[in-house]
Amino acid sequence: MKYVYKTVSVPIVFLDGWLVNLEKSCFGWKKDGEHDESYEYDEHSTRNYTEYHDGVEWDVTEHTTERKTGWRTYQDFYRVSPFTFNPIFAIFEWLSGIFSFIRRLVMSLARYIIIPLIVLVVIAAILDPAMLTDGLYVIGGIAALYIGLVVVPSVLIALIALAMRKLFGIDKHLADNLRANGYSVDW
């Protein structure tokens, strides 16, 4: 049997790196570091204004497109492949990938929704201290929904994967197969 190193890069989003590390380590991945990648995007803007020439009013619409460059940081992981032939383990890893994608999507939107919401709550609390409790309930409710519907299932799936690795002896079977096929076990 032929074994290879499989690598995967996961984008780092707001407050999510620790959970990605936990998930990947429970599924047998080892962290290889981080790297940055640049990406280009177009920023479109429209400006409407009025000009006057010789007593005539002109409505002008100006469209501009500006090419910009952004940076995204990725965490890099590696693992020997095939890691296991256990279909239940593969299903849980697939589920983990779905929850991880949803979590990254929610957290990438968090900086545009939740942070302004927190700023609004602070402003409301300064203007009227009675509004502080309502604002904290809203923020607490959003945090509870996120933790209950996204973080807890991700952690449970990762812990179940770790238990399956121990229960089914996946790491031991992999090491035995690597030795039997002439590969080094130190991966």
In DSSP terms, which residues pair with 66 in a beta bridge?
A: 43
What radius of gyration do the chain's Cα atoms show? 25
Confidence (pTM): 0.75
Higher-confidence position of 25 and 130: 25
User: What pLDDT digit, counting tens, does each position of 6-53 carry?
Assistant: 999 999 888 888 999 999 999 999 999 999 999 898 999 999 999 888
Q: Which residues pair with 46 in a beta bridge?
A: 63
Q: Is the dihedral of CA 24, 29, 33, 35 positive or negative?
A: negative
CA angle at 61 for the pair 59 and 62, rounded to the nearest 5°:
140
pLDDT of 187: 66
Q: Name which of 82-86, 109-113, 150-154 the model is least confident about.
A: 109-113
Predicted local confidence at residue 55, as pLDDT: 82
Residues 62-99: tens digit of each pLDDT: 999 999 998 899 999 999 999 888 999 999 999 999 98
Q: If you average pLDDT over residues 133-147, what whole number do you get?
A: 87
